[in-house]
């Protein structure tokens, strides 16, 4: 509805209230009459469009509109729903009028929130826009109280700020219904609920973004794309099925690829940024959680063709080579990295935009480059700027004047003119990139694509002698600490058993040699994961490492007689199938007698494992 429609609606409503709807008029102005009867009756009137949130229990419904009357001085907000009949006439639906009121207690002057319904006996809930009275009265006030005091500062844009939300909601629901069966047949080890609906949401966003782009530019053909680091390939499958020609490339083939059919083009191969990884025939380059390729997506798009755009959804923090190193402590790491990706896009000549997606992920901010900041004729000088920027990220200055032969210079300018898109990709970069990189057509030396074989990185594949050495070293560090409560056993016996002290993870790491730390850093979770894996010896709580006292474990077990029978059976089957670390390495031996310790005190107690260990996939 246009602004003048709101004026007409409010004029009609005002006349109706003054002429005969005295009860509704008293409901709207009741707070003012009670609190400030002499105050001038200035109200703020807003026309609001409500987009129902769809779910399996609530299918996509029509949009709803309502008039919101805000009486700021009296602390009251009244919601007047609008209904449109078959003739196009709009009127207020009085059955679902309600009000939120902020009042002050006269006794202790405390403020409280109340929810008032104009006609409770006629209220009808639709499960979408109009909730139940119980929800309004019991849950909404608590939410309002919490929202009013919590900080709403955010360094991000509002969700779905670059596309029409109404179109997105309809498209998302359509795609969700169309591809929901993928959850039932998902062959990967990842969570199907998360990955399927996340890719559906990303696909819905791109489809609407591209639809708006075609309308704005007067295009009819659907945009083509390439998804670099496509992973399970579901996003490629959805976009291709919806009519957009494209393909996905990933270093490792997934099981689910065979389920998509021949219309979904997925390729297995490594992407190393260089002359051989250009895509001059596509309109968009996509990077969806593409890890080490994330900062390269704007570069690849910029050098592929002048008309090529990019969409990147950053997740893990990578620079052009290796991990991204933080430089600003005033920002969160995520915010700083998003600024870095946007900076790359600007350096590549894109007009960079940012938006928040509606996906089940904490990393849901995307960076988009839809147009350039320079004309096609300046492609040569712009590409020289790109190369200087990339080299600067490695701590190397840009190439000095007169030594940029590997960039689009005089002879490559002619090639740019002959190129159908007005540009040609440069060579390996500046001289600092290395002779081998230049010979191979790479843009920067040192880039390492992801390994084809998915390597186990939870410390489980580390050599046993390495793990044993680290465990013994950390245990000695803890045992040498001053004991806050060593001594006697829980039953009051005289025998003292050294429980050692505790250290923070940072303090433990400071005691380890550099080579050990480098090796652990290559594993997910590093030192903490190794210590947690050594469950028999250590206990890691709130970032601090302790020696595990199995006497306390026995007490906790006695205090929980309701433990499930399945866990008891599992414990009995694993009883004495592993050697007791404390019996062999602790200076006081094991704190438990042999018949109580679940681990073997010596080789004569060791029993063969009844359950075969899972084979580790390397």
Q: Could you read off the pLDDT of 210-245 as tens digits, one per residue? A: 999 999 999 999 999 999 999 999 999 999 999 999
**pLDDT one-digit tens code per residue, 348-392:** 999 999 999 998 888 899 999 999 999 999 999 999 999 999 988
Q: How far apart are CA 141 and CA 129, in angstroms?
A: 17
Q: What is the pLDDT of residue 396?
A: 39
Q: How far apart are CA 303 and CA 57, in angstroms?
A: 47
**pLDDT one-digit tens code per residue, 406-445:** 333 322 333 333 333 333 333 333 344 456 666 677 888 8
Q: What is the pLDDT of residue 293?
A: 94
**pLDDT one-digit tens code per residue, 453-478:** 666 666 777 889 999 999 999 999 99
- Are the C-beta atoms of residues 358 and 160 closer than 8 Å to each other? yes
Q: Give the CA distances from residue 588 to residues 491, 534, 555, 597, in Å, rounded to whole numbers and listed in that order.
A: 18, 19, 20, 15
Tell me the pTM. Answer: 0.63
> What share of the chain has pLDDT > 90, as a percent?
38
> What share of the chain has pLDDT > 70, as a percent?
78
Q: How far apart are CA 315 and CA 363, in angstroms?
A: 6
Give the contacts of 494 (CB within 8 A, at least 6 positions apart). Answer: 488
Is the per-residue pLDDT at 26 higher than 90? no
Bridge-based pairing state of the strands 365-372 and 538-541: unpaired
- Are the C-beta atoms of residues 569 and 591 closer than 8 Å to each other? no
Q: What is the pLDDT of residue 510?
A: 92
Q: What is the pLDDT of residue 153?
A: 64
For the chain, domains (ranges, CATH) are 6-149 (no CATH), 165-391 (3.40.50.150), 464-481+498-605 (no CATH)
- Are the C-beta atoms of residues 245 and 222 closer than 8 Å to each other? yes
Would you give the distance in Å from CA 520 to the centre of its chain?
25
How does residue 325 score in pLDDT terms, banded at 50, 70 and 90? Answer: confident
**Paired tokens of 275:** 């002359």
Q: What is the pLDDT of residue 406?
A: 33
Question: Rounded mean pLDDT of 490-498?
Answer: 61
Tell me the CB-side half-sphere exposure of residue 527, using CA atoms within 13 A. Answer: 25
297-306, 316-325, 572-581: which has the highest mean pLDDT?
297-306
Is the per-residue pLDDT at 200 higher than 90? yes
The DSSP 8-state label assigned to residue 121 in this structure reads: G
Q: What is the pLDDT of residue 484?
A: 46
- The overall average pLDDT reported for the chain is 80
How does residue 485 score in pLDDT terms, banded at 50, 70 and 90? Answer: very low
Bridge-based pairing state of the strands 544-547 and 538-541: antiparallel
**pLDDT one-digit tens code per residue, 73-103:** 888 899 988 887 777 677 778 888 899 988 8
Is the per-residue pLDDT at 589 higher than 60? yes
Q: What is the pLDDT of residue 542?
A: 80
Q: What is the pLDDT of residue 3?
A: 45
């Amino acid at each position: 509805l246009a602004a003048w429609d709101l004026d007409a609606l409010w004029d009609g409503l005002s006349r109706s209230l003054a002429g005969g709807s005295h009860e509704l008029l008293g409901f709207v102005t009741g707070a003012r009459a009670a609190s400030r009867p002499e105050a001038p009756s200035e109200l703020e009137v807003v026309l609001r469009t409500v987009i129902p949130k769809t779910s399996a229990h609530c299918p996509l419904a029509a949009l709803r509109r309502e008039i919101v009357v805000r009486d700021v001085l009296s602390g009251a907000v009244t919601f007047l729903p609008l209904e449109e009949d078959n003739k196009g006439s709009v009127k207020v639906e009085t059955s679902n009028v309600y009000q939120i009121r902020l009042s002050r207690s006269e006794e202790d002057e405390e403020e409280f929130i109340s929810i008032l319904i104009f006609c409770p006996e006629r209220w009808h809930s639709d499960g979408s826009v109009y909730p139940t009275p119980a929800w309004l009265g019991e849950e909404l006030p608590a939410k309002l109280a919490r929202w009013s005091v919590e900080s709403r500062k955010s360094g991000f844009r509002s969700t779905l700020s670059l596309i029409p939300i109404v179109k997105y909601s309809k498209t998302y629901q359509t795609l969700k219904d169309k591809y929901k069966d993928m959850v039932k047949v998902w062959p990967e080890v990842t969570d199907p609920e998360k990955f399927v609906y996340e890719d559906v949401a990303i696909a819905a966003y791109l489809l609407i973004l591209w639809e708006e782009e075609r309308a704005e530019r007067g295009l009819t053909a659907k945009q083509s794309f390439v998804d670099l680091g496509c992973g399970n390939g579901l996003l490629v499958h959805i976009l291709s099925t919806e009519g957009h020609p494209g393909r996905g490339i990933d270093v490792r083939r997934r099981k689910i690829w065979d389920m998509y059919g021949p219309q979904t083009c997925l390729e297995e191969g490594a992407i190393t940024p260089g002359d051989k990884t250009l895509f001059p025939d596509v309109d968009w380059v996509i990077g969806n959680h593409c890890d080490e390729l994330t900062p390269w997506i704007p570069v690849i798009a910029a050098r592929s063709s002048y008309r090529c755009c990019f969409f990147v959804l950053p997740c893990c923090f990578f620079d052009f080579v290796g991990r991204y190193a933080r430089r600003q402590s005033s920002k969160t790491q995520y915010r700083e990295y998003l600024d870095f990706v946007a900076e790359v896009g600007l350096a590549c000549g894109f007009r960079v935009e940012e938006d928040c997606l509606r996906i089940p992920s904490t990393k849901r901010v995307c960076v988009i480059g839809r147009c350039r900041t320079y004309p096609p004729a300046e492609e040569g000088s712009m590409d020289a700027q790109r190369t200087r920027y990339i080299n600067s990220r490695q701590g190397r200055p840009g190439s000095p004047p007169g030594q940029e032969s590997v960039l689009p210079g005089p002879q490559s300018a002619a090639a740019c003119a002959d190129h159908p898109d007005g540009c040609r990709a440069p060579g390996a970069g500046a001289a600092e990139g290395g002779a081998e990189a230049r010979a191979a057509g790479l843009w920067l030396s040192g880039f390492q694509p992801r390994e084809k074989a998915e390597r186990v990185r939870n410390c489980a594949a580390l050599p046993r002698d390495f793990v044993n050495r680290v465990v013994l070293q950390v245990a000695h560090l803890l045992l040498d600490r001053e004991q806050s409560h060593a001594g006697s056993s829980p039953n009051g016996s005289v025998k003292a058993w050294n429980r050692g002290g505790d250290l923070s993870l940072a303090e433990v790491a400071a005691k380890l040699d550099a080579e050990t730390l480098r090796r652990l850093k290559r594993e997910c979770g590093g030192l903490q994961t190794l210590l947690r894996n050594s469950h028999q010896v250590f206990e890691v709580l709130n970032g601090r490492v302790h020696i595990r006292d199995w006497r306390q474990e026995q007490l906790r077990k006695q205090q929980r007689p309701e433990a499930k029978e399945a866990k008891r059976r599992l414990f009995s089957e694993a009883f004495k199938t592993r050697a007791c670390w404390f019996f062999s390495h602790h200076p006081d031996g094991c704190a438990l007698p042999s018949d109580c310790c679940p681990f073997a005190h010596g080789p004569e107690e060791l029993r063969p494992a009844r359950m075969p260990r899972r084979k580790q996939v390397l």
